[in-house]
Chain A
Amino acid sequence: MSANLNDTLLDRALDGTPDGATLAETIAVNLARSFADGEVGFTGLVTGGAAALFGTSIPLAAMSLAQAMHAPNLTILLAGWSHNPDLGSLSVMPDSEFDSVLRDLPCDAQMLTYPGPWAIKRGDIDFGFSSGVQVDAVGSINSVCIGDPAKPKVRLVGPILQPEHMTLFGREYVMMPHHARRNFVEKVDYVSGVGYPGGLEGRKRLGLNHGGPEWVVTPKCVFDFDKEAGRIRVKSVHRDADRRDLAEHTGFAVDAGNAPLTAAPTKDELDLLRRHVDPNGILLGRRAA
């Protein structure tokens, strides 16, 4: 499936949703409902098209919406260091993590050195968002290479913060901007962030007593995990059509036959999202009417 097709679908209203909620809005609302008051959420600053939307804009919209609905004390960490940035003062999304635009973006606190305000190993960060070029059937993710790591077919950027995201954060939302067989594989070529090999017991044997992937969000569905068994499963699909062709586009075995549709936003949630969180369409590309 081409990137362009996915990009187009993101802007399109889902069937039967109130007020024509788009896929991006629907995902943001579902994420927002899953955050608790007082939590700290961490998102990087991803750039470029669908990757930026999935990796940064939807997470920011979701966290802002949660603050407006039920979680006024949730803390947003943008690019990991700007605490509760004033997104309403932006005219465009920033596209650089450490330049003067973000330095000058009004916020509650900044991280100026390491170690900084958050004690990552004490569990200060409740949830985060990450992505990868591959995710596998146990929820491990890969951002390092395609092919044999000793002589890769494609070298990517490296593990970055993924090992920490998948173990030191309370839970992880893996945001995958494209849904194709090459992205969803039985076993990743390089484990840069570890899922549930052998289930929760398997994680314990690896010395991991905390964290792990919670959902994997794609343009076609939301996956969650049977954490005891250590296996990914379909939590919901975004459209009827996705239920029919999910297996065709997924490289590990999936059963979407009985998967429900992803829960639709309410009218109140959409109003908040469009009029309060993202009135200028900076995050989700849709302006308030």
Chain B
Amino acid sequence: MTNKTSKVGSIADAVTLIPDGTRLAIGGFAIYQHPMAVVRALIRAGRRDLAIVGTVNGNEVDLLVGAGCVKRVETSYVGLEKYGLAPNFRRAVEEGRVEVVDYPEVLSFDRFRASQENFTFWPCDYLGGTDVLARNPDIKPFICPATGRTLHAVPPADPEVVVLHAIAADERGNVILPQRHLLPQGLDVIMARGCDTVIVTVEKIVPQSMIRRHAAQVQIPSYKTTLVVEAPWGAHPTALLGRYATDDAHFRDYVAASASPDGFAAYLDRYVHGPADHQAYLDAVGPGRLGSLTEFDTL
């Protein structure tokens, strides 16, 4: 009898799957549950010309754009929610170093639904009069064959690679969502279903027996997953719902450092270029800080 294939790999393997110029979708939402261990590794590897396609983005895009890895961002939002505007993204846009293509939020979700359905466009009827439409040559008018109304054909998200961070998976890449989850985790699933190269970092690689006890929560089954990587605290400083909270102090330090290019460079030296890998990053943050972020979902 032949054994089933393991999809377990390293963060370095993930970076290899994301070469310069990749059209990349990054899981998580605003300042929640981003695959930050991979994001930092992309910067360490000196990736360039990434095209980020997203829905609602936050510190993960701010960090990549600030580090010079990104040429284009397609999304509805880049910001840090209660921590304010995304400072490095803002600076880069104002200096013309990154191209931004603005999409409405629900339409940005629909672009990933279009990819899941393998549609060549998503129809939209509410863009008239906006600069979203006026400034985007990729959105094209067409006549609805059923009603004769003018609608707009919006390009699908079509990422070449999706990378996201989840709570657990088995070695074969069956990925679990916590039973008590929220919209960001739901959107991660839509993202993963519309792409052929899906990288999932997880807090813990668990035995197949545990997966089989939680089969109803496996929203991304093995055949959808390209690579699974164990990366404990892999979303830090963003939260992982059900495991740990947002590192509020880290976010505040990040925003303060990002007030100037020199301050941001110092942040990168301390937390991205300085530590050789994810484990060294966790050492730099410190076990005391990480421990203080632990949350219980249910007891």
Chain A residues with a Cβ under 8 A of chain B: 47-48, 81, 95-100, 102-103, 110-114, 116, 120-121, 140, 144-145, 149, 151-164, 167-168, 190-194, 197, 203, 205-208
Beyond A100-B297, A112-B181, A208-B129, 15 additional contacts (C-beta under 8 Å) are: A48-B84, A96-B246, A98-B241, A112-B183, A113-B183, A114-B109, A114-B183, A155-B100, A157-B79, A158-B79, A159-B130, A168-B126, A203-B129, A205-B128, A207-B150
- How close is B94's CB to chain A, nearest CB, in angstroms? 6
Q: Contact partner of A158 among B76, B94, B106, B190, CB < 8 A?
A: B76
Complex Cα spacing A121 to B86, Å = 30
- How close is B91's CB to chain A, nearest CB, in angstroms? 8
In the complex, chain B residues whose CB is within 8 Å of the CB of A96 = 31, 81-82, 246
Can you list 6 A-B pairs with a CB-CB distance of less than 8 A? A47-B82, A112-B186, A151-B96, A153-B94, A194-B130, A207-B149
In the complex, chain B residues whose CB is within 8 Å of the CB of A161 = 76, 104-106
Complex contact B29–A98 (CB within 8 A): yes
In the complex, chain B residues whose CB is within 8 Å of the CB of A99 = 32, 239, 241, 245-246
User: Which residue of B has the minimal Cβ distance to A153?
Assistant: B94
Complex Cα spacing A113 to B185, Å = 8
Query: A interface, by DSSP: helix, strand, loop or mixed?
Result: loop
In the complex, chain B residues whose CB is within 8 Å of the CB of A193 = 130
Complex contact B105–A160 (CB within 8 A): yes
Complex contact B190–A144 (CB within 8 A): no
- How close is A52's CB to chain B, nearest CB, in angstroms? 9
Tell me how many residue pairs across A and B have CB atoms closer than 8 Å.
152
User: Which residue of B has the minimal Cβ distance to A111?
Assistant: B183
User: Which residue of B has the minimal Cβ distance to A202?
Assistant: B129
Q: Does any Cβ of A come within 8 Å of B184's Cβ?
A: yes
Within 8 A of A (CB), among B156-211: 180-187, 189-190
In the complex, chain B residues whose CB is within 8 Å of the CB of A162 = 104
Complex contact A98–B183 (CB within 8 A): yes
Q: Contact partner of A152 among B94, B103, B187, B239, CB < 8 A?
A: B94
Complex contact B130–A191 (CB within 8 A): yes
Q: Max chain A CB contacts within 10 Å: which of B75, B128, B129, B181? A: B129
In the complex, chain A residues whose CB is within 8 Å of the CB of B183 = 81, 98, 111-114, 116
In the complex, chain B residues whose CB is within 8 Å of the CB of A153 = 94
In the complex, chain B residues whose CB is within 8 Å of the CB of A144 = 102, 131
Complex Cα spacing A208 to B180, Å = 38
Q: Max chain A CB contacts within 10 Å: which of B81, B90, B134, B245? A: B81
Complex contact B132–A159 (CB within 8 A): yes
Complex contact A191–B94 (CB within 8 A): no
Q: Does any Cβ of A come within 8 Å of B107's Cβ?
A: yes
Complex contact A158–B129 (CB within 8 A): no
Complex Cα spacing A190 to B242, Å = 39
Within 8 A of A (CB), among B92-120: 93-94, 96, 100, 102-107, 109
In the complex, chain A residues whose CB is within 8 Å of the CB of B96 = 151
Complex contact A103–B132 (CB within 8 A): no
Complex contact A192–B131 (CB within 8 A): yes
Complex Cα spacing A47 to B77, Å = 16
In the complex, chain A residues whose CB is within 8 Å of the CB of B107 = 163-164
Q: Max chain A CB contacts within 10 Å: which of B89, B105, B127, B245? A: B105
In the complex, chain A residues whose CB is within 8 Å of the CB of B182 = 81, 98, 102-103, 110, 112
Complex contact B186–A158 (CB within 8 A): no
Complex Cα spacing A140 to B189, Å = 34
Complex Cα spacing A155 to B92, Å = 9
Q: Does any Cβ of A come within 8 Å of B64's Cβ?
A: no
Complex contact B93–A167 (CB within 8 A): no
Complex contact A157–B78 (CB within 8 A): yes
